[in-house]
Amino acid sequence: MEYDDKVKNRVKRIEGQVRGLLKMLDDEKDCKDVIVQMSAAKAALDRTAALIVSTNLEQCIREAKDNDESSEAIIQEAVNLLVKSR
**pLDDT digit string, tens, across residues 44-75:** 999 998 888 888 777 777 777 777 767 777 77
- Percent of the chain's residues with pLDDT above 90: 50
Q: How far apart are CA 27 and CA 14, in angstroms?
A: 20
CB atoms within 10 A of CB 79: 12
We report the CATH number of the domain holding residue 37 as 1.20.58.1000
Domain enclosing residue 21, as ranges: 5-85
| pTM for this prediction | 0.74
Residues above pLDDT 70, as percent of the chain: 97
**How many distinct structural domains can be found in the chain?**
1
With beta carbons less than 8 A apart as the criterion, state whether 50 and 79 touch.
no
Confidence grade of residue 85 (pLDDT, cut at 50, 70, 90): low
